[in-house]
Homo-oligomer: A and B are copies of this chain.
Amino acid sequence: MNRLTGVREIMKDIIRALRSDPSKQWLNLSPGNPLVLPETDAMWREYALDIVHSKEFSELVGRYGMTQGFDPFIDAIVETYNKLYNWGIKRENVLITAGTQPLYFLAANTFAGPDALTGVNRQIAIPMVPDYTGYDGVVLDEKMVVGFKPRMEILGDHEFKYRIDFDAIDIGSHTAAILCSRPCNPTGNIFTSDEMHRLLDYSKQWDIPLIIDSAYAPPFPNLAFVPMELFYNEHVLHCVSLSKAGLPGERVGYAIGHERYIEALEPFYSNMGIHSSRFGQAMVAKAMLSGRLADISERVIKGFYKRKIEIFREALHKHMPSHINWYLHRCEGTLFSWLWVDTEQMNDLEIYQKLKGGGLLCVPGSTFFPGLRSEYAHKNQCLRFSMTAPDEHLDLAAQVVAKELNGHTNKR
């Protein structure tokens, strides 16, 4: 736990680069830090102001709360999900946490580890990597996470898509939980309903939680560019973060799941940190109940990043030399572009360094394969670009990629 996980090592390198020459104009497509959009900014400020002026402010900040969360926020979640999705959840199905990272930490260390009866070390299974790099860091023992290689499907000259390789994944009595992001950070992939049904079958068969990291899913921030069905049943732990809806600094997240899961996680969370900060919870409760959060997500946030992804895609098509075998993952959601350069002459870290030399910062793809321990050439052929840069930087970034990869002979 006290190591920096892969992406954070890279982040340190990026910070060093940024600080080494502060006057330099970097094309920084590395961070997952969302942009401040005027609409979300105005919304959060307005609700924050309401709260500071309200009578409830005194108690909100001046008294301890319950570990489960701030009552009106729990109520808002119950009301919202039952109205939108008819899930029939109750208060006891909700746990508020400080963003979703603590949730994965709680869940991993609650569900995984040595089985009391058999002594078998039960693992967190990530059904398909690449997936969120942070999953590597949530366990006290790294062997507790296992990730499985995907199948890949070429969809056109420069587009591909991952699919779960159900022949390769190994889920059984040694599995403590299944964990995945949907939409997927870093690839923008969205597991199909069929894939989800098969994962749900596993969770039912082995009576284990299917932990769905919904940080980019509807109804907020709703960074799903294709229709996606949400899934909820007694084995699902549905985890939501408000970070991509303009509130990353306040660390607000929550889990929705069967009470047996919530009851298992809550005392652990209490021992780890009493409860989450309440000011942010109160802001989100207001934004949820008014319907404005869902509206802004659908109307503003989604289109904002979708457009940026399109700009970058078009720029790559325009600038990339024809002799390079490059593929973008079909972006079905999130705020990232995932580039696969099909070569074995340079690995992702080398490409990252070359792009850095050209003034472009991104994140090497090999940091997004948590729990994958077998050799896998593809792991070292990808890069993640964050679509949080100004439009003109996206075009310039594509030019740097094209230039730095040029002269680069492909294996085929």
Contacts and interface: CB of A to CB of B under 8 A. Distances in A.
A398 B8 CA distance: 56
Contacts of A60: 249
A17 to B, nearest CB: 16
Contact of A2 (B63, B248, B267, B279): B267
B45 A63 contact: no
A243 B277 CA distance: 11
A248 B265 CA distance: 22
Contacts of A110: 1-2
A98 interface: yes
Nearest to A274: B101
A31 B52 CA distance: 25
A44 interface: yes
B57 A273 contact: no
Nearest to A242: B61
Contacts of A58: 36, 41, 45
User: What is the total number of copies of this protein in its complex?
Assistant: 2
Contacts of A193: none
A41 B62 contact: yes
A315 interface: no
B250 A279 contact: yes
Contacts of A411: none
Contact of A99 (B44, B61, B274): B274
A123 interface: no
Interface stretch (A132-140, A150-158, A184-192, A194-202): A132-140
B1 A249 contact: no
Given A98-B273, A278-B250, A61 B44 contact: yes
B246 A62 contact: yes
Nearest to A37: B62
Nearest to A59: B36
A2 to B, nearest CB: 5
A5 B101 contact: no
A329 interface: no
Interface in A19-41: 31-34, 36, 40-41
